[in-house]
């Protein structure tokens, strides 16, 4: 008997999420997986966290949607050797990469505050669903 999968909005799509073990990356992975997307889960040093996500997604979504999941470990710090098409939809409240205090950064953002990982994940999902930028 053939396996029947539920239909999901991103079923059949594949995404590679870099930094998947951080707050934003994890939130994006969870949203994409819940919508049926197959994922490449990237990590730099936290293999255990990446493998935990892999197992979580396999248990919850592999049989439901037919999605596939795999982990990739890589140091993406050498930008001269890597070419990616990245998205930075908002400044993130928990980031450690931007100079200045949260208050100083919030003044530069049109909405007057910094985003949470879940808010940025929602923005990325909207961009994927609407084919933003194509």
Average pLDDT by stretches of 10, the chain with 134 residues: 72 88 92 93 93 96 92 73 42 50 60 65 70 56
Q: What is the pLDDT of residue 47?
A: 95
Angstrom distance (rounded) from CA 68 to CA 61: 9
Place of tokens 């930008």: 79
Q: What is the pTM of this model?
A: 0.62
Backbone phi and psi for residue 14, each to the nearest 5 degrees, phi listed first: -130, 135
Q: What local confidence, expressed as pLDDT, does residue 108 receive?
A: 57
> Any residues with CB less than 8 A from the CB of 81 and at least 6 apart, and which?
none
16 dihedral zone (left: phi>0; alpha: psi -120 to 50; beta): beta
The predicted pLDDT at position 102 comes to 60
Q: Is 114 helix (H, G, I), strand (E, B) or coil?
A: coil
N-term to C-term CA, the chain: 39
The whole-angstrom distance between residue 41's C-alpha and the CA centroid of its chain comes to 8
* pLDDT for res 101: 63
Helix 23-34 vs helix 117-129: angle between axes, to the nearest 10 degrees? 40
What's the pLDDT at 112? 56
* The predicted structure's pLDDT at residue 78: 59
Name all domains of the chain by residue range, CATH numbers in brackets: 14-87+119-129 (3.40.50.720)
Give the per-residue pLDDT at 57.
96
């Amino acid at each position: 008997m053939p396996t029947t999968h539920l239909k999901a909005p991103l079923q059949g799509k594949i995404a590679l999420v870099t930094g998947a073990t951080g707050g934003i990356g994890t939130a994006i992975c969870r949203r994409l997986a819940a919508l049926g997307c197959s994922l490449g889960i990237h990590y730099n040093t936290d293999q255990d966290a990446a493998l935990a996500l892999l197992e979580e997604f396999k248990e919850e979504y592999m049989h439901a949607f037919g999605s596939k999941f795999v982990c990739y470990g890589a140091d993406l710090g050498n930008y001269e050797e890597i070419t990616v098409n990245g998205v930075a939809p908002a400044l993130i409240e928990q980031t450690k990469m931007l100079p200045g205090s949260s208050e100083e950064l919030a003044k530069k953002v049109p909405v007057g505050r910094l985003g949470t990982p879940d808010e940025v994940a929602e923005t990325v999902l909207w961009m994927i669903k609407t084919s933003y930028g194509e």
